[in-house]
Chains A and B, each alone.
Chain A
Amino acid sequence: MTVRVPEYERLSLGNGVALVLMPRRDVPLVTFNAVLRGGGSCDPASRPGVASLVAGLLEKGAGERDAYAFADVVEGVGGSFGAGAGAETINVRGQFLARDQQLMLELLADALLRPLLQEEELQELAARQVELIKAAKGSDPAELIGTYGRAFLFGQHPYGWPVFGSEASLTAIDREDVRRYYDGQFGAERLILVLAGDIDADLLARMAAESFSRWPRTCTPLPVLARPRPLRERRVLLVDFPESAQTYFWIGNVGVDKRYPRRAALDLVNTLFGGRFTSLLNTELRIRSGLSYGARSSFARGSVPGEFSLRSFAQTGNTGRALELALRTLDRLRSDGVTREMLDSARAYTLGQYPLGLETAADWAAMLAEIELYGLGRGYIDDYPAQLAAVGVAEAQAVIEEAFPRADSVAIVTIGDAARIEGALEGYGLVSHMALTDPEFSGGWASGDENRP
């Protein structure tokens, strides 16, 4: 038995808003997921973080309510309401008791159509975001390593920009930037609105049409992203974290996009390489050697190819050994490929696990928005088991060659005690240096000028 997309209704308002309704009555909760195309890739190149601040400001006052009144009414009924930016979207999500579904839609319409975007709230939010970045550097440097990795790999391509901003860019962003983003990048044809859960579908469809059908379209075309160019050599970035006990590392290169036709094979090969506990990577770095608490790999796939990356960490003195082992494992994937038995195990694992991510109304609200955003169709879910079943050794090998980098052409980012690990990084390629306390995430970029727009 597998999971299929439940019945849902998709409406298109005359102005281009896509409205998706999926009633699902297991618990008395309703959920919304509003996705606006655009996101961080619409930021000015010199000031990443604008989209993220606009998202944060949506709930800091909208319609007749100021920031406090908005939070009071949301939380007063036990609801949640939050917004954030990704590289290609702004995402607004929330969950309420079913009895409050009209209120939920009213609040969402206020936030999207009538945000106050006040100067004072902007200053507070930006200042707080700067401090949160500094705090994260002391508490969980591994959490930020992907941001350093993308900045180093993608350089000036929008996928390289820190979506939530850097300490430097957040200080520079002003209300004009925010206003310009909202005026230029918010509009009807950019919106996908999914309403799911214990909803009265007719009532909400009517309300949504009333609220959103007069919303004008944006005046700016959605930017089309260039395909990022993969790195063709090995480059190293060393981010100095003095006195750290371990070195955190990230190894990556440009991978594949959301519409990559061999998605089922990609999922299986990544499961085998670094996507589960017994993966090749975790077996080497954790199970066999005891060097690390864990090692994983993943693909970020957008409208154009995002990154393949692997991440792990090891005690400072073991930095060279752990890096070498990770690169050798990547090499081994390419030279040895995967066997039929390995594929069968990964297939069973993937089939057994993916229903757990499609259990709640909120899970489906996220999945339906993704299907709509990238034009994937319901086959993305319904045909997945059959696609998994069809993957053979040859297709897996093709995926390894198309999507996984060669170990000699990757960006390597390390966060660690520079004075103690510099020697271990010799021989891996040209090393760029920066300090964890630097107010930017980029210390030059790996591919030289190749990813300049």
Chain B
Amino acid sequence: MSLPATMDFLLPDRLDDALDALAARPGTLPVAGGTDVMVRLSRGRERPPAAVDLTRIPCLARWEREAGVVRLGAAVPYTRLADELAGPLPGLAAAARTVGSRQIRNRGTVGGALGTAWAAGDVHPMLLALGAEVELVSARGARRVPVREFYTGPGRTVRAPDELIRAVRVPEAEGPQSYAKAGRRGALVVATCSFAAALWPSRGTVGTGIGGAADTPLPALEAERFVAGELAGRRLWQSLEPLPDGVLTRFGELAAAAVSPADDVRGSAAYRRHAVAVLARRALGWVWDDYRADARAKEETCA
């Protein structure tokens, strides 16, 4: 607990003032809920020259829905995401509910998770499966980056040191979504690995994301191509038949082939590869079964 008292903590209530602070001193650390940042600061793992508080800037704590997209302010905590956006974003709300404990979810944010870019973070797989976009802003201007191009390495992203994550743009659900997480217990647990699946009936695709099984969160691209082809080739969107076991198994194998896991305290590389295959198979089975049930219920209502 003997830390040098040299880090300035700025408390702006305007976004422009936060951006000026980031531009003025490279390496200034943006802080929303602090749930990742404080663990690093308290252990002396990180000592930035300055930090800037994001919890007083009203536009970062808001969300809005427009044209089928939820624009989620970077400082909206998980509790609010889960309580207020479970309708348009059921998968992301479900993933947010598995983060830490209530105390953590009351503070932690999607923007913060993107800033930390920890491969095991719970919201990344679903952001990948949903095709979200990250809004970055600096004193130089603003840009949007697809989340599939956002992560570049362990804890590294395309965010420049003077850029702030302002919001995440997340397409609203048009079908079932599922987040499957493996961990050592049922509550307050870091994912050993995880898998997200989201159905997009209008495009005939299944979006995917894998957590905790490589240097970065990543989509299962081959598995996505495979299942889109099977769903179309077997005319399953029309027939609403169950997915054959062989398709589910192959989907899991292709997901496991996408990962490059490591051995660590939460699990071995071999376990993670196996678990990703199981989670992927289950998540796909769940979203397809839910889709069939929803479609049947709709048919009955119309008849």
Physical interaction between A and B? no
Using a CB–CB cutoff of 8 Å, the interface residues on chain B facing chain A are none
